[in-house]
Structure 1
Amino acid sequence: MLKGVSVLSDSELLAILIRSGNDKQSAVELSQHILSKAGNDLNKLARMSVSDLVNNFHGIGQTKAVTLMAALELGRRRKTEGAPRQRKISSSKSAYEHFFPLLCDLNHEETWALLTDRSNKVLTTIQVSRGGISGTVVDIRLILREALSQYASGIILGHNHPSGQCRPSPQDTHLTKKLKEAAQWMDISLLDHIIVCGDSYFSFADEGII
């Protein structure tokens, strides 16, 4: 209370949330154990489910697990809302930073489309598919319908690879080519396709594929 939350370690912050440990560990020690199993990576911790926490850590029941998940979700939403809605996408990195809060903590694949005006300012971001661990099906018509309704001039596609492997699959490349060709008929440009892989990404535009 005197020095503020910024002086606390990650394990101390988690300890405040779980409030108590178990018969062998204090709340801080239990939190350190949880973080250790997540590789001391809060992004990996956020990918754990309630059952992962309950089944693997003595002293973590459903209430504590839900509390941790809720806190991490609030952090994710804060990152999402922190980006100005009218931000300008000037590079693949800025596109990646826009998609990162939406995709970084997922154990399944999702695909989102970022729609821009002629100045590359963000009009809206929409989810276009939600799939399994190894893939997802994207309906190009859904993307184009939304782009037309928003009077968008550009589209940036973004999806994640939960495996951490950033190289595009043949399906990713086929989808990119198909969407680019379809959008051109509507006088809309596919500006990039970003694959989010945690702290790294793959840009079709940077690689000269688009």
Structure 2
Amino acid sequence: MSTNDAAGSTRPAAGPERPIRVGILDEHVLLLDSMESWIADNAPEFEVVVRAETWVDLVRSENFPTALVLMDDAPAETVPLEARIRTCRAAGARVVVMSAHDPEGARARALAAGALAYLSKSDSIQTFHAVAREAMGLDGAGAPVESGDAVASVDTSDFVRPKLSPGELEALRLYATGNTTAAVARLMNVKYETAKTYLRRVREKYAKANRPASRRAELITRAAEDGYL
């Protein structure tokens, strides 16, 4: 287990008057079921309001952002882990990452991107509970953060967020969530060349901001970092 903040007593403290809203992202339904059930039965200070098997499902939920996100490192996800963490942090959510594989360097990258902890899925659910309480300031590590309260966001001062037109933004979102350029054109009810032009302009604007977006994966990363997904 690795954390960004190690301070704070382990003695349980009183929970907030309102449950802290939690989102859980994991590709395994069994883990989602077990964590949601355990929290409901044993952690009244938390309430799972979003459970998602994919990143897109999480950020598109009407209940996102939550105060806390428990996130699988999900190496198969198109959007890199760091971009997912930064997006959550920029949206006002604190992040704890769960990993079954712990690939080399992932722990350091996750913490550098703003995750408060990086846990192994072999850790006990009680360990997750303790880390979640510490992350939300419930055990003497600061004032409790209740559902809807603002939390510190990741420093994005080095990011230049290009100004996109409505058409460019819609094309970016559709393309970044897996649609081909032809599908983007069809969904936007525009000609293929128009959709292609929208995406070209988006790439050019990111290039001018010194944020590469020539490849699909890079464009998806940019969209996630800027909260467009």
- TM-score normalised over the length of structure 2: 0.25
- TM-score normalised over the length of structure 1: 0.27
Structure number with bigger Rg: 1
